[in-house]
Structure 1
Amino acid sequence: MDVSPACPFCGISQAPAHDRILHSNEHAFVIRDGYPVTEGHSLIIPHRHVGSFFDLTPAEQEAMFSLLEQAKADLDHSLNPAGYNIGINDGAAAGQTVPHCHLHLIPRYNEPGKDPRGGVRWVVPEKADYWSNA
């Protein structure tokens, strides 16, 4: 398996019975984000060190999506969020800071006074609020 000694995700993946791993399968694992956006913010990460989602094998992609469903079911049961953002920052220009592919599962909660419209469009703030100028 391809790993990078300097990669923080590879270190988690390679540690036997690592206490941060919530779920795992042959190709991927789930942890809580170390810098969560909301309570329950989770990461689905392939075991193999690969930078881009597009360089994963179909089996690795399928394994990640299977764990995404499992992590969502757990969050639905434990935290009962009102919605989710699901995203992958693929490449430095897209905001990827750890060069090991990972999928974010971000639970969203009804927050009085906050307008969630636009969701992931806010990665480019000047383009996010398209409904006000329509």
Structure 2
Amino acid sequence: MTCPFCTNQSSLLESETFFVMFDRYPVSEGHLLLIPKAHRTDYFALSIEEKDSLSRLLEEAKLLLDDLYQPSGYNIGFNCGAAAGQTIFHCHCHLIPRYDGDVPQPRGGVRGVIPAHKEYPFND
């Protein structure tokens, strides 16, 4: 199967090693993907230099979304491996803008990937 990220590297932003595009199936307005130009299977296959580049580009992407959409918060995430939900085996970082009221109970954030563990076992 042809890798969709290797064949389509059109970008909103880019660095020497990464490019940024809107997610084709966004979970919120402005959902971005940060993708290495070189085919890497997942986050753990990136070099230290690529991780540094990703970190800098993530900051630029956040500023772009702040300007375009003014979100109230962000989720940042990777799916690494089929058991974690990865379906395209070319590394990509999700930068998901969050908006006040977009879900009834946002508490727990990324813990929601396993719904039974989204809520903390204590009240504060």
Sort the TM-score into its range (normalised by shorter chain): over 0.9
- Partners of 2:91 and 2:102 lie apart in 1 by 34
Determine helix, strand or coil for the equivalent of 1:110: coil
Q: CA offset at residue 113 of structure 1?
A: 6.8
Tell me what 1:121 maps to: 111
- Partners of 1:107 and 1:76 lie apart in 2 by 9
| RMSD of aligned residue pairs (Cα, Å) | 1.8
Tell me what 1:9 maps to: 5
- Partners of 2:115 and 2:105 lie apart in 1 by 14
Determine helix, strand or coil for the equivalent of 2:29: coil
Determine helix, strand or coil for the equivalent of 2:25: coil
- Partners of 1:128 and 1:42 lie apart in 2 by 24
How many residues are matched?
124
Encode CA deviations 1:50-97: one digit per residue, 9 max, x unaligned. Answer: 112111111111111111110100111111000000000011111111
- TM-score, structure 2 normalization: 0.93
One-letter amino acid of the structure 2 residue matched with residue 11 of structure 1: T
Report % sequence identity: 50
Any unmatched runs of 5+ in structure 2? Answer: none
Any unmatched runs of 5+ in structure 1? Answer: none
- TM-score, structure 1 normalization: 0.86
One-letter amino acid of the structure 1 residue matched with residue 104 of structure 2: K
Moved over 6 A (4+): none
Tell me what 1:49 maps to: 39
- Partners of 1:23 and 1:112 lie apart in 2 by 26
